[in-house]
Chains A and B, each alone.
Chain A
Amino acid sequence: MSDSIISIQHLAKNFGSFQAVRDVNIQVNRGDVYGFLGPNGAGKSTTMRCMLSLIKPDAGDISLFGLPLASNRTQILRRVGSLIEKPDFYKFLSAYRNLDLFSRISGAPSTKKEIYQMLEFVGLEGREKDQVGGFSHGMRQRLGIAQTLLHNPDLIVLDEPTTGLDPQGIIDMRNLILRLKNEQQKTIVFSSHNLSEVEIICNRMVIIHQGKSVVEGNVKELLNEEDQIIRIQTQEDAITKGMAIVEKYPNAHVKKIGSDTIEVTLQKELIPEVNRQLIEAGVPIFSIESKRKLEDYFINLLAS
């Protein structure tokens, strides 16, 4: 069986005179947690919609599970669970009834027990018979996830799944995605505005800008995860001494970014050693925090 789950080549889609997608190339493999990154209007959602045949592309090839989407749509969609844009449900129906309706056309209708279990899994137990019209955005998002997972798909496509969620909801969503990857070996594709989210969760990613896939690949490789950027906060009068200690390490780059803070780029495994050296030299450490590199990478990439 092929390990390629999604393969998109030279995807293009116009809406009238507007070129929403010009040349997107994507390769998602089995077990990937794949991030779609890009500013608003970059073409992320259009690409996802093309992947699910919501939109007919003007050009390009889309294959899922090794099969061309155009000629194997229903066969492919049986193995896909998706939540595009926002979770829209029939407001006049209950949570249970909504899931029942979607389940019946998913190719693998679920039993009442399975639906109740799924609602419990996403934290909606006790609300099964409530009308969705009365649900908060977070609850609808959970219901959306339930709808996505109910037929046990191999591929899960989520379009900005944490948008509109409260902090706890965002954490729950991240944990859920990681559980799906680690415990159920699902392949997950999701788009997000939140760069740190992608950096934390994804092993592969694509950055789409102005309808083009600008860069695609392994997150660690793209960000050079061997090196780490850390920020060290100390006393103002100890900062010169601290900088001198750190600069002795090979390939370390030190930069003073405040009266009491320095930013250091160095190998990840040297961070505990640097910390110990500073303390032994009498440099008080108020905090050491890791700075996410994707933000810089993203900004530099788009700027270039």
Chain B
Amino acid sequence: MIFFHSTRNELIKIALKPRSYLGLAAITGLVGIILFALMADGMSMISFVTASFEQTLRFEGKVLNGNLVAFIILQMLIVHIPLLVALVTGDLISGEAAMGTLRMLMTKPITRTQLLMSKFLAGGIYTFLIVLWLGFMAVGIGRFLFGPGDLMVLNSDGLVILQEGDIIWRYMGAFCVAFLALLTISSLSICLSCFSDNSIGPIVSTMAIILLFTIIGTLDVPVFDTIRPLLFTTHMAAWRSFFEDPIPWQQIKESIGILVAHNVLFIGVSVLTFHRKDITV
């Protein structure tokens, strides 16, 4: 029961903290800008992608539609969302330590594991809401403004054109995997938050780790070949696999496995660290 109350408390704190709305506001603003840009000059952007095909072929039908707009938005924003997530979740432990409220909380009859898990759960729910809002803005508003249609996706091995009726479930799958990827960010930042007594440190550290791993992941150097598949950043774009044809299920399963493993690792490290932590502030 205390775990339920604690989770409720954490959600109330997140809901009433102004910082929590930065993420939603940022997504709204960024999506608004992208939608405006696509409405104003979306076709030229698409032409840039399809230019070499259009020398020989012509695309009939509504290429610039809500589904493509949503895909473009996701592709552009999914890199930035981790910062918005870490901004809130990286603060969940260390922010309380800095405020002194962690000391107040830990004098209550709640176990450290309960408190930590309630923060993970609340962080997960916040992350889910961010993904949901992103989905609403990208798919919902995108389809409202641009209408439905087949989705043309440019992968490194060519164009894939997916039919309208075959898209929504792919978005749902993609959002689930994207959520898992962002949940990993949330777990990482909460884990780092256990090591710190100030709010900024874990947020900056989370972004630094994402940056470092992304660079290692994109450097086409054989020495990183063995570790690249193990980095969680490598699998953060696994949501994109839902828009390939055929869907590389094995690859998606591997990505989910790696992301889940990272979550378990981060939660495990957090529990151990938080259990040993002396609340001295």
Contacts and interface: CB of A to CB of B under 8 A. Distances in A.
Interface residues of A, number: 34
Given A54-B279, A90-B13, A93-B16, A105 B103 contact: no
Given A90-B13, A90-B101, A105 B106 contact: no
A293 interface: no
B261 to A, nearest CB: 30
A105 B5 CA distance: 6
B109 interface: yes
A84 B5 contact: no
A82 B13 CA distance: 22
Contacts of B101: 88-90
Contacts of B278: 15, 49, 54-56
Contacts of B276: 56
A84 B107 contact: yes
A91 interface: yes
A77 B16 contact: no
B58 interface: no
Contacts of B99: 88, 90-91
Interface in B48-67: none
Contacts of A104: 2, 5-6, 8-9
Contacts of A88: 99-101, 103-104
Given A85-B100, A88-B100, A49 B280 contact: yes
A97 interface: yes
Q: Which of A53, A88, A92 has the most CB of B within 10 A?
A: A88
A75 interface: yes
B113 to A, nearest CB: 11
Nearest to B5: A104
A199 B12 CA distance: 43
Interface in A1-42: 15
- Give the secondary structure class of A's interface: loop
Interface string A80-124: 101011111111110001000110111101000000000000000
Contacts, number: 85
A75 B103 contact: no
Contact of A82 (B9, B107, B110): B107
A54 B13 CA distance: 22
A105 B16 contact: no
B229 to A, nearest CB: 39
B18 interface: yes
A102 B30 CA distance: 37
Q: Which of A90, A91, A102, A107 has the most CB of B within 10 A?
A: A90
Nearest to A88: B100
Contacts of A90: 13, 99, 101
A97 B16 contact: yes
Nearest to B99: A88
B111 interface: yes
Contact of A97 (B5, B12, B100): B12
A137 to B, nearest CB: 13
A52 interface: yes
A296 to B, nearest CB: 34
Nearest to B18: A92
A93 B108 CA distance: 19
B17 interface: yes
Given A86-B100, A107-B2, A101 B9 contact: yes
Contacts of A84: 103-104, 107
Given A86-B100, A88-B99, A105-B9, A53 B106 contact: yes
B107 A74 contact: no
A211 B12 CA distance: 40
A147 interface: yes
Contact of B109 (A87, A89, A97, A105): A105
Given A15-B280, A85-B103, A107-B108, 5 more contacts: A53-B106, A73-B111, A92-B16, A101-B12, A105-B5
